[in-house]
A and B are shown apart, each in its own frame.
Chain A
Amino acid sequence: MCKIETRKREADAYWRWPEYHGIVPGRDWKDADILTGGIDVGSVSSKAVIMTDGEVYSWGILRTGSNSADSAKKVLDWTLEGTGLKPEKIASIVGTGYGRVNVPMANKAITEIACHAKGANHIWGPTVRTILDVGGQDVKAISCDETGRVTSFLMNDKCAAGTGRGMEVFADLLKIPIEEVGEVSLTVDEEPEPVSSTCVVFAKSEAVGLLYAGWSKEKVLAAYMRAMAIRMCELVKRIGVKKDFVITGGQSKNVGIVTRIESILGVKRLPVADWKETGLDPMAAGAIGAALFAEALYSKSLKQ
């Protein structure tokens, strides 16, 4: 079992998901030829991964603060905590995500699209063709080939509909801890009609109206998740759903969203059952890809 540490949350902050970091057992950075890092500063969460010869050694996830550079530093420190490894020892670091241009310790910045495809290819293997990444403030649909190279993609960052941040807003409104919203939404006897608004702000006021009308929290949550899942599926359908299909980002852990996406698309996503043991965390797919790019760039620089 991997050593995972989680930070506690304040009692009434339902939206605050737990921050954690872990070290993969059986690997020692002292034995590694090449140490590389990937830092993915997202709009809501920051992820870092340290790799020893192209395999995940340790990883960490924190909430992004108001400053990208600070968040990058904090998440790297959080990922190195307990390893005895100093940041100077890392041969190459690639920054990615929304705040990628503000990762001071990065040797290079690469778009999160390329990193997600690379990361998904590493996590699930060469059969992955379609990736749905549900981030904190945007949703991306990516097609890739057997090497993890992007063949087409599209991104919706126009609004928060169907994103992690929208889910946080609903967790708070309904006073249900964010890690439980998925399970809770699946307890309804019958799937309700989706809320008609896809905009988070309108959906929130619509939800308040439904609660007043006597709907249970579970039913409101189910109606919201249904609408969000439909929205995400529209994006994936645009690039075409080819098997194997995977979901990355924070919402890959939301069983309520995942189940609904699978039923709408008629395709099961490939799960990652043992990410806590292997460090192949779908939420850190971008950071994993970034660390792989860092390794490729470093190896290339050695040859030149």
Chain B
Amino acid sequence: MIIHYGYTNGSGEYYISIDTEKCNGCGKCIENCPQQALELGYVIVDLEEKLVATVSEKYRREIKYTCSPCKPENGKAPCVLVCDKDAISCTWRARRGNMTT
């Protein structure tokens, strides 16, 4: 299951996506996140709980600001680079022109 954390709003789209099948909960991304925006959490896969990396609840609604120092628009944020399971990816697209609300 791929969980897309983030949102699309008038200014663009901002998502950190985690593949819970690929993630083994090793925690390397968490150690390497300069913003401390990631943590381990349980998700339900086939009635079993699995411990995987998640974006912390408190940062989910402000991910655009929390994650921007890592320049995710290049697709090379530390969390993405450090994951040898290829379980994290990011989508970062600022919308041009229409920047209202």
Contact = CB atoms under 8 A, between A and B. Distances in A.
B61 A238 contact: no
Contacts of B100: 196-197
A13 interface: no
A151 B2 contact: yes
A294 to B, nearest CB: 11
Given A110-B44, A159-B9, A235-B8, A153 B1 contact: yes
B8 A234 contact: yes
B10 A154 contact: no
B7 A156 contact: yes
Interface in B1-44: 1-10, 13, 15, 17, 43-44
B101 A296 contact: no
Interface residues of A, number: 26
Nearest to B21: A151
A297 B47 contact: yes
Given A150-B1, A156-B8, A197 B44 contact: no
A198 B101 contact: yes
Given A196-B100, A202-B101, A158 B44 contact: no
A296 B10 CA distance: 42
A129 B49 CA distance: 23
Interface residues of B, number: 20
Interface string A129-153: 0000000000000000000011111
Contacts of B9: 158-159, 198
A172 B7 CA distance: 28
Contacts of A152: 1-4, 17
Contacts of B7: 156, 158
Contacts of A202: 101
A221 to B, nearest CB: 20
A114 B5 CA distance: 16
A199 interface: yes
Contacts of A110: 44
Nearest to A199: B101
A111 interface: yes
Nearest to A196: B100
A152 B91 CA distance: 15
A156 B14 CA distance: 11
A152 B19 CA distance: 8
B4 A154 contact: yes
A7 interface: no
Given A196-B100, A198-B101, A238-B15, A158 B4 contact: no
Contacts of A78: none
A105 to B, nearest CB: 20
A239 interface: yes
A198 B47 contact: no
21 contacts: A111-B43, A111-B44, A114-B44, A149-B1, A151-B2, A152-B1, A152-B3, A152-B4, A152-B17, A153-B3, A154-B3, A154-B4, A154-B5, A154-B6, A154-B15, A156-B8, A198-B101, A199-B10, A199-B101, A238-B8, A296-B47
Interface of B: 1-10, 13, 15, 17, 43-44, 46-47, 61, 100-101
Interface of A: 110-111, 114, 149-154, 156-159, 196-199, 202, 234-235, 238-239, 293, 296-297, 300
Top 9 nearest A-B pairs by Cβ distance? A154-B4, A152-B2, A158-B61, A158-B7, A199-B101, A150-B1, A234-B8, A197-B101, A156-B7
